[in-house]
Homo-oligomer: A and B are copies of this chain.
């Protein structure tokens, strides 16, 4: 049996893990040994094992060797796209509707999360994303205008802040939180759902270096699901 490319090495290793040939927490053979067994270069084995380690199925430590992850912390990857694309991917017609756009002092909770002072100029944008003319997601966003002065002259009436920011403003990293929230009267009205309905909420805080660029909450209709595989 020979496994010449890293994909087939990976598959074989995966098979042994799933078949419990190599047990939880157990040390597996070294790269050199596997390379010999599989009849390929150590580099090839390394590539395969590295990929599996990234996926969380193996734990690797120098000198200590490679072992099957005791608790396979499943890494479920969520693809978070621009909402317009998300809607299009579902085969629905995308619609956008601006609800409100105004300079406003952000509430304390938002200021705290964004780490800005009380008198920081912030722009508040609220908008509705639609799929086939029915509400899809409600966007509630705060933008730090000191960081993104261009936002001041952007009306956000035809292009969503979601999309505009991603295309025009650089960022270094972001935090995401997913939670459930009961719809209040306002949200229920916009999303055309009963009050108190359970909505999926995605909060995103985007940073450029040490400065918060924008904070957004997306509220989805009650049936909405985030799907992924592992």
Write the residues of chain A forming the contact surface with B, with a CB cutoff of 8 angstroms: 18-20, 24, 56, 71-82, 85, 166-167, 170-182, 196-201, 208, 220, 222-230
Q: How far is the CA of A218 from the CA of B172 in the complex (A)?
A: 33
In the docked arrangement, what's the CA distance between A77 and B226, Å?
Answer: 13
Q: How many copies, total? A: 2
Complex A-B: 9 CB contacts under 8 Å: A19-B170, A74-B79, A74-B81, A80-B230, A174-B230, A178-B225, A178-B228, A180-B198, A180-B224
Judge whether B80 and A74 touch: CB under 8 Å: yes
Contact B71 A18 (CB under 8 A): no
Chain B residue at smallest Cβ distance from A56 = B79
Whether the pair B175, A229 counts as a contact (CB closer than 8 A) is yes
In the complex, what residues of B have CB within 8 A of residue A167's CB?
24
Give A199 to B75 CA distance when docked, in angstroms: 22
Q: Are B179 and A224 in contact (CB under 8 A)?
A: yes
On whether the beta carbons of B73 and A76 are closer than 8 Å, the reply is: no
The CA of A200 and the CA of B178, in the complex, are separated in Å by: 8
List, in ascending order, chain B residues with CB within 8 A of A230's CB.
80, 173-174, 176
C-alpha spacing A72/B163, complex, angstroms? 11
Question: Hey, which chain B residues are within 8 Å of A173, CB to CB?
Answer: 229-230
